[in-house]
Amino acid sequence: MPNLTLVLFLSTLLIFSSSSSFAFQSDELLLDDEEFGLEGGSHPRSPEPVITDSPPKQTPSIRRRYSDPDLDSKIQFTLEHAFGDSDFSSAGTFSARLKTWSHGGQTLTKLRFARNEFSDEEKDAFKNLLKGDDFYRIRLPSNVVTPPGREYVIASVRARCLPRDGLDEHIAIHMDGANILAVSYGSPGACPYPRQLKLPGKWTFNSHTILKSSEQAPRTPIFTEEILGSSENMEGEAEAPVERSFWAKYWMYLIPLGLIVMNAVTQASNMAEEQPAGSQGQAPAAIQRGSAPRRR
Amino acid sequence: MAMAIKASLLLLVFLSSAIVSFSLYEDQVGLMDWHQRYIGKVKHAVFHTQKAGRKRVIVSTEENVVASLDLRHGEIFWRHVLGTNDAIDGVEIALGKCRNHLHYMWCSAISGYVITLSSQGSTLRAWNLPDGQMVWETSLHSAQISKSLLSVPINLKVDKDYPILAFGGGYLHAVSAIDGERVLQPPESSIIYVLGFLHSSEAVVYQIDSKTGEVVAEKSMVFPDGFSGAVSSVSSDKIVVLDSTRSILVTIGFLDGDISFQKTPVSDLVEDSGNAEILSPLLSNMVAVKVNRRTIFVRVGGEGKLEVVDSLSDETAMSVSLPVADDQVAFASAHHEGSKIQLMVKLVDDLETVLLRESIEMDQHRGRVDKVFINNYIKTDMSNGFRALIVMEDHSLLLLQQGAIVWSREEGLASVTDVTTAELPVEKDGVSVAKVEHTLVDWLKGHMLKLKGSLLLASPEDVAAIQEMRMKSSGRSKLTRDHNGFRKLFIALTRAGKLFALHTGDGRIVWSMLLNSPSKSEACERPSGISLYQWQVPHHHAMDENPSVLVVGRCGSDSSAPGVLSFVDVYTGKEISSSDIGHSVVRVMPLPFTDSTEQRLHLIADTEGHVHLYPKTSEALSIFQREFQNVYWYTVEGDDGIIRGHGMKSSCAGETADEYCFTTKELWTVVFPSESEKIISTLTRKPNEVVHTQAKVNTDQDLLYKYVSRNLLFVATVSPKGAGEIGSVTPEESALVVYLIDTITGRILHRLSHQGCQGPVHAVFSENWVVYHYFNLRAHKYEVTVVEIYDQSRAENKNVWKLVLGKHNLTAPISSYSRPEMFTKSQSYFFAQSVKTIAVTSTAKGITSKQLLIGTIGDQILALDKRFVDPRRTLNPSQAEKEEGIIPLTDSLPIIPQSYITHSLKVEGLRGIVTAPAKLESTTHVFAYGVDLFYTRLAPSKTYDSLADDFSYALLLITIVALVAAIYITWVISEKKELSEKWR
């Protein structure tokens, strides 16, 4: 199936969808708002294992508020691409729901992505990029409500990073309300440095899209005396030292000792050979003392 | 001295298990640290030479310092550094004030007060003249920002008190000198004339009754051409200004409240006149105008008629007029003639009479004379003598008297903008240690003394002798490289565009050099230095070359002004070459490539988005073209909140013929929403930092791989509302967001938002961690957060067998285009102090544990172990974790008084801390600059790889000799015994 496949992530819920309004046919039912049960359902065209990566705290609120249609508004914004230094042209469409919270904040949810297929000229342009190891660039509006907002948010990747079986891309959109701060674009895996020229087997995109919002910093813990006091108690309980083996305790003494003994033995045996006629009792010791530093 | 580093590693492990807190003993102060006190470029100077007692000069400077200097030696009696936003507008001495101090009338006529007006005329302070204590402070009401003036009229006496007149913010205030209260009861009525300008085209005269402060009369008149520039008041009822075209001198008379204008074109006075500029000095009935690089003196006649009296060529600095005996008024002018300074004192009324003419030999590297202040004194033969305080172009301050320089102060060092380090030359003819330790007797004597000292037998004289010996014998001020790398040069670039080389041993200036424009053209008279780079650091194949530094300057304050490059030899301080580069300088990027002579390749980006390669040699070009595809750079547009990444595109051969110029293309952008985020801080790692271990071993024998990338950018943003001062917003309105961005691909690797927090953010970035300091509005405390980044893609390389068999990806090149698999650990702590700057120690191989150097608000530097900001700290660390050196978690970071590396000193106006590694792994150089300079050597894990300075070699030698003797004696005895046994 050469058509585009879209994967989209929304909190921990994900919806695979394809839209029928573009240059491809989809055999898939359009999703309603309430079909969250799809998580478990296997999808025949799911190209990759599901990746879930989003702030989990959003999940319950989305589920709860989802039936509230008047707070949502459907929006669409386009992904544009450029080959090397060419001008930007449309490459696909994101559609999403913009939820407006009672406190005035806005959140983008239910993001879907419909990727246009490369036309023949675009294929040629992309092949040129691959040959020159040049940049494939994409851009998004910096505000999804009033595109393009202040300015476009641009990202680019070396074209040789994309082709595998098909063309694999990973788009992480960093959001702040209705604003797009930045978009990270690249292949979903590694792209080791001496980039090899490789033409894609299929001219279809496997798109992985992910929305990222800001993480809240944890609050600095404030310890009261009691907590500190109890921690000391805890320490007191844990006072009993773990019994360690003899070797673990004294290895640092044993190893040098062993070396010295071995050294001495070698010395002694050497001596015996050198001086077969047994000399006085203290002589071996004296010679050993004298020669040991020389050896070191 | 230095043992093998590997052997010392074990020792390091033992040492680091104890909490090492750096501290000094009292007698160690000054052994390896030095501190220099400065005041900055002098703006105003008031002499105080009356009566007996100390002769002093009170100065205020551009570093917002008010100081009292000894006129005999130039030492600082006292000084006060006002805040950065508290610029001093005027300084005066108020004299003759008496106060009824309980029982007796107490006249402080000898002492007097120093009055300063600061903060755009809104703060008036009085300091006691002898000791600099603040006597009173009055804050004056001000409505708008305007030029402010301070004057202490001598003839206006009000009830035994001389009021001070201060103008600022659209108000005129009369303030009592005794207590700073506003004066309300002057005994006799007098009129103060005030002339002001409205909208730069209308002159207004107010007559103010000094008794009540009421405006008696007001008169205004419109001058259609408009005014511009400085005002010169020539007499009590006349002033001269320039019109807006700067070609016509306008004399304004305001006698009795009537205003009259009289225009005189400058071209009538001198031929081929260009734009004129009125010089500020106050000369009676005379105005000094600068036209066509000449200074002309114009006498203002009774009817406003102007006539040229005198003219001086070249740049001339002039003093304000000074009353000398017999109602005469004199002024001083100073100008350059060759390598000498001509100082002349003339009478204002009669320019032919030259009271003093002196020519003084002056160092070329001080530049031109910028300001002159004169003071007269009575010579022994009862004639008038003059002394002049001059400020040079390099901001240095000199006192001239009797044709000689009495003292000089290098005040340029109070405004250091950039610092780099350089090695000293290698010792050529092997001077042995014996030469330093003159004779064996001295040497033995010294060691006997040291032995005494260590056995606590030394008398106070002995202690002093030991101290002195330590200072001398270490040879720390020699001008050659030492084995441990303790002797180095710090190259400092000052705001005046002067380079100083400071010796780490004793802080003396080895050489200094004022940057000159190469062409000395009109367009670039005084280039200002921007930054400093190590241009050539020879170590492998270019050992005979001298190292050199690159100074990047700019011809003007505008960022689009053309740049100037200057290459300076570090050993000699001579400029090797310099060039006008003909394009602007936005960013200078040292590349990690060097050519065959070890010259580092640099890219300079201009405002048009082009980059230029330096040095302009074909060899550099070929090196660069090999790496052309892999060169990236980024720009931060702070005002717009946009960060852009760029890659190389092609040579800009199409536009210019310059083959060293390249065009770039935009690869990525990060656009911060303007309504919620504003960039306040960006930071990268030091490019020359060395990371020794890539991995960190956990307590459970687990490996954590550090995510060490040179291409990480730390960005901190706050809500636009919260960009102001602390406390100006509520916690709900302000949020601080920090980012870690990969500058090759523009990926945001880490993003953390702190709700209810506010800047300013001070951060330090080293290895794989960032530590940043900010204010928490909810907790009303400063906080410090640490973020450590670990690489997960290499996490599978834990198996030893994999490493042995080579089945690991540790040696594979890391590409930014791979999807980063990393995770971060972070933790926050409270910190009790406000911070001015943060730095981190750096050592030669990166083995030694690190310390954060925190420049506190009290202008001191606190050394804090990195282990205190370790995100793995827990409340109850296990036994294993404790052994590893993890400190139990506390909510705030400790401030241990002994760990102030500045001990009792203050680095006034602290602005930056620079660290540089010594050759000895344990040791790092620390150089802090502000108004003051401070240097010390630090060993964050103690000097585990060298013996202590006071190690007694004599004792060691004696022990060895004694042992050898004992061995010999016992051997002889045993031989004898053996023999006797054999004879038995």
Indicate yes or no: CB of A176 within 8 angstroms of CB of B669.
no
For chain A, say whether B440 makes contact (Cβ under 8 Å): no
Question: What does the mean pLDDT of chain B come to?
Answer: 79
Indicate yes or no: CB of A193 within 8 angstroms of CB of B815.
yes
Q: Is the pLDDT of residue B707 over 50?
A: yes
Residue A239 DSSP SS3 = coil
How close A214 comes to chain B (CA, Å)?
Answer: 6
Which CA distances in Å does A1 have to A28, A126, B332?
Answer: 13, 21, 93
Indicate yes or no: CB of A176 within 8 angstroms of CB of B891.
no
Q: Give B369's pLDDT tier (boundaries 50, 70, 90).
A: confident
Could you read off the pLDDT of B93-121 as tens digits, one per residue?
A: 876 544 444 444 344 444 578 888 887 77
Q: What are the tokens at B119? A: 């903060």
Please, what is the angle between helix B460-473 and helix B440-454, to 10°? 130
Model pLDDT, residue B12: 40
Q: Where are the beta strands (DSSP E) in A31-127?
A: 72-83, 89-100, 106-115
| In contact, A135 and A125? CB cutoff 8 Å | no
For chain A, say whether B812 makes contact (Cβ under 8 Å): yes
What is the chain B residue with the closest CA to A85? B665
Q: What are phi and psi for residue B951, nearest 5 degrees?
A: -65, 135
Indicate yes or no: CB of B747 within 8 angstroms of CB of A176.
no
Could you read off the pLDDT of B917-941 as tens digits, one per residue?
A: 988 888 999 999 999 999 998 888 8
Q: What are the tokens at A250? A: 């004294």
b or e along B943-973 (b: 16 or more beta carbons within 10 Å of the residue's beta carbon)?
A: bbbbeeeeebebeeeeeeeeeeeeeeeeeee
Indicate yes or no: CB of A218 within 8 angstroms of CB of B828.
yes
Helix (H) or strand (E) holding A278: none
- Count other Cβ atoms within 10 Å, centred on residue B864: 23
Q: Is the pLDDT of residue B7 over 90?
A: no
What is the chain A residue with the closest CA to B875? A231
On whether the pTM is more than 0.95, the answer is no
Kindly report which listed range (A262-266, B713-717, B808-812, B899-903) carries the lowest average pLDDT score: B808-812
- CB-CB neighbors (< 8 A) of B670 in chain A: 153, 181-182
| In contact, A72 and A97? CB cutoff 8 Å | yes
Indicate yes or no: CB of B674 within 8 angstroms of CB of A176.
no
Any idea which residue has 């008794």 for tokens? B211
CA–CA separation, B114 and B131 (whole Å): 11
The fold of B42-188 is: Lipocalin (2.40.128)
Average pLDDT over residues B364-385: 82
Q: How many CB pairs under 8 A join A and B?
A: 146
- Hey, CA dihedral for B623, B628, B630, B636, is it positive or negative? positive
Closest CA to B453 of B445, B462, B461: B462
Alpha carbons within 13 angstroms on the beta-carbon side of residue B361 total 0
How close B625 comes to chain A (CA, Å)?
Answer: 15
CA–CA separation, B929 and B937 (whole Å): 15
Q: Is the pLDDT of residue B954 over 70?
A: yes
Among the partner residues B665, B746, B817, nearest to A161 by beta-carbon distance: B817
Q: Where are the beta strands (DSSP E) in B338-442?
A: 340-347, 354-361, 369-378, 384-392, 397-401, 404-409, 416-422
Could you read off the pLDDT of B308-321 as tens digits, one per residue?
A: 777 766 567 777 77
Residues 156-185 of A with CB under 8 A from B: 156-158, 161, 170, 172, 174, 176-177, 179-182, 184-185
Model pLDDT, residue B470: 65
For chain A, say whether B810 makes contact (Cβ under 8 Å): no
How close B587 comes to chain A (CA, Å)?
Answer: 22
Kindly report which listed range (B358-367, B395-404, B423-432, B540-549) carries the lowest average pLDDT score: B423-432
Among the partner residues B669, B752, B755, nearest to A153 by beta-carbon distance: B669
- Count other Cβ atoms within 10 Å, centred on residue B585: 23
Q: Which of A77-91, B278-292, B315-329, B850-864 has the highest mean pLDDT?
A: B850-864
- CB-CB neighbors (< 8 A) of A222 in chain B: 779, 891
Residues 734-763 of B with CB under 8 A from A: 737, 741, 745-748, 751-755
By the 10 Å C-beta count (0-12 exposed, 13-18 middle, 19+ buried), B41 is classed as buried
Task: Mark the ranges of chain A whose per-residue pLDDT is less than 70.
Answer: 1-71, 223-243, 273-296
Model pLDDT, residue B425: 83
